[in-house]
C-alpha cells in the first residue's frame, strides 16, 4: 500500500475502522449530474452522507480528509484489463495490476479471460476471485471466455460461469468468425441475461496488419489494418443482435464508420453498447513515428479525424465507456522490429490523466469523461457502484485536475513498463483512491 | 376377441402420417381402441385375427430397436405377417433410393408400411408412391404420431382426462418430432401445453403452435400436471447448442429440486431412451410418479389400435 501521510496533520488514513469525512471537495457525480462543493461522510466503508452541508464541518470523531477544493468522484470502472495471472505472472499479476489501478483511480477492474489457461471453467473464475480477494487492492471482476479455449467454435458454460461470478463473456482479443456460432452464443446468453463482449476485427481482412491502413503505414512500409475490418464485424454483430436480442458490447471501436453502426443500433433500441480505448482517444497513428512499438496496439491508432470522431462519440454518449486496454508486455516482446513486436500498452495508471487532456483542450467536459468511466460501465455490468449515493460502497477518488507531471515509467506500479505515455507531460492526476472507504493510494505534490 | 366394428365413429384416413389434421374425435377413437388393445395385451391369449393374411413391412431408414419392436409386436398380435427391413439411408443418394425402394416394395404387395426416415416429409413422399396404408414411425424433426398417441393414452389412464391439464414438455424442442406431435395432440384434446428449453433449442415461432414458451424450468414447471422430458442427442451437448452436459443438467435436467415446482402428483414421462444425468436425474426417472415403463407398454397398444383403425381401408377390404 502506497498510502503516506500528507503534511497536513489533520489528514488521516481514511481507514475503515471509524467514520471518516472528505470535506472541502468538488463532488462530481456523473450518474446524477451533480457538480457542487460539499463533503462526504464514510461509515463502515459505505457512503453514509454527502452534500453541501458537509463541506466545512464533519461529525465529531470522524477522521477528516481535507480535499482542498479538488474533485471527488466515484472510483473508475475499467472494463478492459489484461493481467498475466494466471500464466504470465512475469508480465503482471492481479496484485500489481491492482496497485496500478489504485494509482490510476480505478477501483473496479474487469479482467479479460485470455490468460493461460483461458478462463473458461468455473474453477478458474473461482481462482481469479480468490486471488483477487487475497492480493488485490481494488475490486476485480472476472470475465469468462465466450467459447471454449477462445477457439470461437464451442460455447462455454455461460450459465455455470455466470453463477460462479463471471460478470461478462468475451472471446478475448479474437473475434468469433463463424456467424452461426456467434448467433447461438447471443441466443443462449440472452437466457441468462449474460453480457457478450466482442472484439470486433475480421481476422481475414486484418490479416498480418500491424497499424492503421493508410499513407502513414505505406510510408513506413508496414501492412495496414483497414477500419472496414472492424466495421464489417460490427455490422454483422448488430444484425445478429437484431435477430437474437442478446445483450452485446463491442469492446473497443476505433473509427467513425463503426460509430455510425452503433448510433443506428441505438436508435433502433437494440441492446448494443460499445467502448473505446484511451489510446484511440488520446493518440493517433502519427505518434508511432519511427517505429515506436509501445504505440502498437489493438485496435490500431487511427488518423486524427478518427480520433476526433471517437472523442465526439464519447461526448454525445454514443460511445458508452472508456477503457484503459491495459495490456502489460515485457521488454523482450516489445523491443523487436515493429511487425514482430507484441500488441498492447499498459494504461491503468495513465488513463484518467491522459483523458484529462481532452478536458483541458475543451474536447470533453469532465462530466462526459467521468460518465464513461463510472456510471455507464456500472450500468452495463449491473453494478451498484460507479456513483455517489448513500449506502453504496465508498469507492472514491480525489483528483487534482491541474497539477502537471511527467510520466516516469520506472515509477509506475505496473510490473511491465510498456506505456504509450512514456515521458509524456500530462496535467492532473489521482491524489487519493479509496476502496470500500479505505485509502489504497495516495499521492501528493 | 374378433374384429370390432364402430358404428358411431370411424377412422376415415388411409394413412397415419401426422397428427396435424386429425380431429379430437378421431384421436379419442384411437385412444379408446388402444385402451382395449392394452387390456388384450395383458391376456394370456394376446393374438387376434384382425390382420390375418395381411403383410406389414417395417421399413426403417433410421435405426430404432424400440419403435421397430413395438410395431412388430403390434402387427403380430393382430395376426399380420411382419417383415422388418432396415435400409441404410446414408450410403446412397436419398431421394432416389427412397422412391426406388417405394416402387420395389409396392411390387411386393404389402398391405401396411411402417416407415421411419431421418428426413422430414420423406414418409409422406413415399406414401404417394405406394398402394398400401402407410404409418409414419418418425420422419426427421417433423412427426412421430404413435409416440404422441401413446403419451396421450398414458396421461389419460393416470389422470382420467387430458382436458385442462398443464403439460410441460422440456428439452430439445428444436429437433424433436415427439414434441411437435405431442403439442398437436394435446392441444387438440384440450390440454394447456408449455415448452421449456434454452433458446438455442427452441424452434423459431414455436409460440404460434399453441404453447407457452419458457427458458426457465422453475417457471415452466410451475403447477404442471405432467412433465414430459425429451432426449438430448449427444452431438448437441458439446458446445453447438448447449455448452456441456453438466450445464444442461444444472439448468434443464429434471431433478427433484426442479420437479418441486410442479404439482405434487405430477406425472414424469420420457419417450426413451433416457440419458440419465443429462436430461433426467436417475432418482426422478425411477420415482413412483414416473410412468416411463407404462409408456412403453402403451406403445404396443397404440400401434395395435392404429393398425386396426387402418384395417378397413386396406386393399381388398
Smallest CA–CA distance from A160 into chain B, residue: B247
Smallest CA–CA distance from A184 into chain B, residue: B200
Distance of alpha carbon B270 from alpha carbon A309, whole angstroms? 58
User: Which pLDDT value is given to residue B238?
Assistant: 76
**Sheet (strand A106-111) strand order:** A76-81, A106-111, A139-145, A168-170, A196-198, A248-250, A272-277, A321-323
How many Cα atoms sit within 13 Å of A89 on the Cβ side?
A: 5
Of B198, B238, B246, which has the smallest distance from its Cβ to A154's Cβ? B238
With beta carbons less than 8 A apart as the criterion, state whether A277 and A323 touch: yes
Reference A241, options A167, A187, A315, A295; nearest CA is A187
Q: Where are the alpha helices (DSSP H) in A275-421?
A: 278-282, 304-315, 331-334, 351-360, 366-371, 375-381
Query: What's the alpha-carbon Rg for chain B, to the nearest Å?
Result: 19
User: Which pLDDT value is given to residue A415?
Assistant: 95
Cβ within 8 Å, pair B243-A184: no
Reference B237, options B229, B249, B228, B255; nearest CA is B249
Of A153, A155, A187, which has the smallest distance from its Cβ to B199's Cβ? A187
* Chain centroid, CA A34 distance in Å: 23
Residue B49 has which C-alpha cell?
385375427
- Mark out chain A residues that contact chain B at CB-CB < 8 A: 147-148, 153-160, 181, 184, 187-188, 190-191, 244
Tens of pLDDT, residue by residue over A312-364, are 999 999 999 999 999 999 988 999 999 999 999 999 999 999 999 999 999 99
Distance of alpha carbon A271 from alpha carbon A278, whole angstroms? 23
Q: Considering only CB atoms, which chain A residues are within 8 Å of B238? A: 154
Q: Considering only CB atoms, which chain A residues are within 8 Å of B198? A: 188, 191
Compute the mean pLDDT over every residue in chain A, rounded to the nearest whole number: 94
Distance of alpha carbon A192 from alpha carbon A162, whole angstroms? 8
Q: Is the N-terminal amide bond of B273 cis, ω within 30° of 0?
A: yes
| Phi/psi of residue A214, nearest 5 degrees | 155, -170
Reference A351, options A114, A138, A101; nearest CA is A101
Start-to-end CA distance of chain A, whole Å, equals 18
State the burial class of residue A433 (Cβ atoms within 10 Å of its Cβ: 0-12, 13-18, 19+).
Answer: buried
Start-to-end CA distance of chain B, whole Å, equals 20
Of B199, B238, B250, which has the smallest distance from its Cβ to A159's Cβ? B250
The continuous run of DSSP H or E covering A283 comes out as none
Smallest CA–CA distance from B242 into chain A, residue: A155
The answer, yes or no, to whether residue A277 has pLDDT greater than 80, is yes
- Distance from the A244 Cα atom to the nearest Cα atom in chain B, whole angstroms: 9
Distance of alpha carbon B295 from alpha carbon B301, whole angstroms? 10
How many other CB atoms are found less than 10 A from the CB of residue B4? 10
A261 secondary structure, DSSP code: H
Q: What percent of chain A has pLDDT over 90?
A: 92
Classify each residue of A84-112 as buried b or exposed e, where b means 16 or more C-beta atoms within 10 Å of its C-beta: bbbebeebbbbbbbbbbbbbbbbbbbbbb
Per-residue pLDDT of chain B (317 residues; tens, 9 = 90+): 444 444 446 889 999 999 999 999 999 999 999 999 999 999 999 999 999 999 999 999 888 889 999 999 999 999 999 999 887 655 455 566 788 888 888 999 999 999 999 999 999 999 999 999 999 999 999 999 999 999 999 999 999 999 999 999 999 999 999 999 999 999 999 999 999 999 999 999 999 999 999 999 999 999 999 999 999 987 777 778 999 999 999 999 999 999 999 999 999 999 989 999 999 999 999 999 999 999 999 999 999 999 999 987 777 66
Distance of alpha carbon A406 from alpha carbon B280, whole angstroms? 64
Average pLDDT (A370-388) is 97
Tens of pLDDT, residue by residue over A392-412, are 999 999 999 999 999 999 999
Q: Do strands A34-43 and A46-51 pair parallel, antiparallel, or not at all (unpaired)?
A: antiparallel
Of A154, A157, A188, which has the smallest distance from its Cβ to B198's Cβ? A188
Smallest CA–CA distance from A149 into chain B, residue: B239
Distance of alpha carbon B69 from alpha carbon B137, whole angstroms? 12
User: Which pLDDT value is given to residue B4?
Assistant: 45
Distance of alpha carbon B309 from alpha carbon B303, whole angstroms? 10
Tens of pLDDT, residue by residue over A9-63, are 333 444 446 899 999 999 999 999 999 999 999 999 999 999 999 998 888 888 9
Q: Considering only CB atoms, which chain A residues are within 8 Å of B240? A: 154-155, 181, 184
- Mark out chain B residues that contact chain A at CB-CB < 8 A: 198-200, 215, 238-244, 246-247, 250-251
With beta carbons less than 8 A apart as the criterion, state whether A216 and A284 touch: no
Of B199, B240, B247, which has the smallest distance from its Cβ to A159's Cβ? B247
Tens of pLDDT, residue by residue over A190-225, are 999 999 999 999 999 998 999 999 999 999 999 999
Smallest CA–CA distance from A178 into chain B, residue: B240
With beta carbons less than 8 A apart as the criterion, state whether B307 and B78 touch: yes
Distance of alpha carbon B317 from alpha carbon B315, whole angstroms? 5
Q: Do strands A106-111 and A196-198 pair parallel, antiparallel, or not at all (unpaired)?
A: unpaired
Reference A372, options A427, A317, A440; nearest CA is A317
Residue A361 has which C-alpha cell?
483542450
Average pLDDT (A268-283) is 98
A428 secondary structure, DSSP code: E
Compute the mean pLDDT over every residue in chain B, rounded to the nearest whole number: 92
User: Which pLDDT value is given to residue B5?
Assistant: 45
Contacting residues for A44 by C-beta, under 8 A, at least 6 apart: A16, A437
State the burial class of residue B53 (Cβ atoms within 10 Å of its Cβ: 0-12, 13-18, 19+).
Answer: exposed
Amino acid at each position: 500500500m502506497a498510502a503516506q501521510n500528507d503534511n497536513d496533520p489533520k489528514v488521516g488514513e481514511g481507514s475503515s475502522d471509524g467514520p471518516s469525512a472528505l470535506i472541502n471537495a468538488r463532488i462530481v457525480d456523473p450518474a446524477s449530474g451533480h457538480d457542487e462543493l460539499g463533503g462526504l461522510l464514510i461509515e463502515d466503508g459505505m457512503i453514509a452522507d454527502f452534500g453541501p452541508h458537509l463541506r466545512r464541518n464533519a461529525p465529531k470523531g470522524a477522521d477528516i480528509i481535507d480535499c482542498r477544493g479538488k474533485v471527488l468522484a466515484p472510483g473508475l470502472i475499467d472494463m478492459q484489463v489484461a493481467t498475466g495471472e494466471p500464466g504470465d505472472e512475469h508480465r503482471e499479476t492481479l496484485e500489481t495490476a491492482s496497485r496500478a489501478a489504485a494509482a490510476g483511480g480505478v477501483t473496479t477492474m474487469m479482467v479479460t479471460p485470455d490468460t493461460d489457461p483461458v478462463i473458461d471453467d468455473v474453477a478458474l473464475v473461482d481462482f481469479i476471485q480468490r486471488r483477487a480477494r487475497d492480493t488485490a487492492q481494488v475490486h476485480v471482476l472476472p470475465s469468462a471466455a465466450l467459447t471454449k479455449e477462445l477457439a470461437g467454435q464451442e460455447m462455454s458454460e455461460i450459465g455455470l460461469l455466470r453463477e460462479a461470478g463471471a460478470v461478462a463473456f468475451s472471446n478475448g482479443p479474437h473475434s468469433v468468425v463463424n456467424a452461426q456460432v456467434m448467433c447461438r452464443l447471443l441466443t443462449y446468453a440472452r437466457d441468462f441475461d449474460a453480457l457478450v463482449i466482442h472484439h470486433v476485427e475480421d481476422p481475414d481482412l486484418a490479416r498480418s496488419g500491424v497499424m492503421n491502413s493508410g499513407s502513414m503505414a505505406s510510408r513506413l512500409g508496414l501492412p495496414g489494418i483497414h477500419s472496414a475490418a472492424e466495421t464489417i464485424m460490427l455490422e454483422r454483430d448488430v444484425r445478429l443482435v437484431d435477430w437474437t436480442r442478446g445483450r452485446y458490447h463491442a469492446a473497443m471501436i476505433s473509427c467513425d464508420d463503426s460509430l455510425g453502426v452503433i448510433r443506428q443500433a441505438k436508435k433502433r433500441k437494440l441492446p448494443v453498447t460499445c467502448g473505446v480505448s484511451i489510446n484511440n482517444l488520446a493518440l493517433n497513428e502519427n505518434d508511432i513515428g519511427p517505429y515506436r512499438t509501445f504505440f502498437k496496439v489493438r485496435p490500431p491508432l487511427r488518423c486524427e479525424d478518427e480520433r476526433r470522431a471517437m472523442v465526439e462519440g464519447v461526448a454525445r454518449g454514443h460511445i458508452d465507456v472508456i477503457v484503459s486496454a491495459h495490456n502489460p508486455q515485457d521488454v523482450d516482446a516489445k523491443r523487436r522490429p515493429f511487425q514482430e513486436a507484441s500488441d498492447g500498452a499498459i494504461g491503468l495508471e495513465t488513463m484518467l490523466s491522459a483523458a484529462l487532456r481532452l478536458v483541458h483542450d475543451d474536447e470533453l467536459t469532465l462530466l462526459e469523461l467521468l460518465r464513461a468511466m463510472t456510471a455507464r460501465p456500472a450500468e452495463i455490468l449491473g453494478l451498484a457502484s460507479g456513483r455517489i449515493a448513500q449506502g453504496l460502497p465508498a469507492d472514491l477518488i480525489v483528483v487534482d485536475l491541474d497539477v502537471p507531471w511527467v510520466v516516469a515509467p520506472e515509477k509506475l506500479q505496473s510490473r511491465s513498463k510498456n506505456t504509450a505515455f512514456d515521458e509524456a507531460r500530462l496535467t492532473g492526476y489521482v491524489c487519493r483512491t479509496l476502496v470500500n472507504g479505505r485509502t489504497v493510494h495516495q499521492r501528493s505534490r | 376377441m374378433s374384429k370390432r366394428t364402430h358404428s358411431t365413429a370411424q377412422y376415415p384416413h388411409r394413412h397415419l402420417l401426422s397428427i396435424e389434421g386429425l380431429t379430437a374425435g378421431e384421436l379419442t377413437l384411437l385412444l379408446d381402441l388402444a385402451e382395449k388393445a392394452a387390456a388384450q395385451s395383458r391376456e394370456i391369449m394376446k393374438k387376434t385375427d384382425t390382420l390375418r393374411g395381411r403383410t406389414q413391412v417395417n421399413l426403417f431408414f433410421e435405426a430404432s430397436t424400440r419403435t421397430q419392436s413395438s410395431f412388430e409386436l403390434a402387427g403380430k398380435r393382430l395376426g399380420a405377417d411382419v417383415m422388418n427391413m432396415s435400409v441404410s439411408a446414408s450410403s446412397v443418394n436419398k431421394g432416389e433410393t427412397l422412391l426406388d425402394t417405394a416402387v420395389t416394395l409396392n411390387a411386393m404387395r404389402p398391405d401396411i408400411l411402417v416407415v421411419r426416415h431421418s428426413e422430414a416429409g420423406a414418409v409422406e413422399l413415399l406414401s404417394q408412391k405406394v398402394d398400401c396404408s402407410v404409418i409414419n414411425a418418425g420422419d426427421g424433426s417433423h412427426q412421430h404420431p404413435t409416440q404422441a398417441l401413446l403419451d396421450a393414452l398414458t396421461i389419460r389412464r393416470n389422470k382420467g382426462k387430458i382436458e385442462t391439464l398443464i403439460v410441460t414438455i422440456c428439452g430439445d424442442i428444436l429437433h424433436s418430432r415427439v414434441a411437435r406431435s405431442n403439442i398437436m395432440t394435446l392441444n387438440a384434446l384440450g390440454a394447456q401445453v408449455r415448452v421449456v428449453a434454452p433458446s438455442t433449442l427452441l424452434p423459431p415461432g414455436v409460440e404460434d403452435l399453441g404453447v407457452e414458451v419458457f427458458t426457465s424450468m422453475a417457471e415452466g414447471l410451475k403447477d404442471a400436471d405432467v412433465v414430459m422430458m425429451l432426449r438430448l442427442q449427444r452431438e448437441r451437448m458439446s458446445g453447438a447448442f448447449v455448452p456441456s452436459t453438466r450445464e444442461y443438467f444444472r439448468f434443464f435436467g429434471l431433478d427433484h429440486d426442479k420437479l418441486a415446482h410442479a404439482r405434487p402428483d405430477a406425472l414424469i414421462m420420457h419417450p426413451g431412451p433416457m440419458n440419465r444425468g443429462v436430461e433426467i436425474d436417475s432418482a426422478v426417472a425411477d420415482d413412483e410418479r414416473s410412468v416411463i415403463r407404462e409408456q412403453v407398454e402403451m406403445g404396443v397398444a397404440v400401434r395395435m389400435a392404429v393398425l386396426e383403425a387402418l384395417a378397413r381401408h386396406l386393399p381388398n377390404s
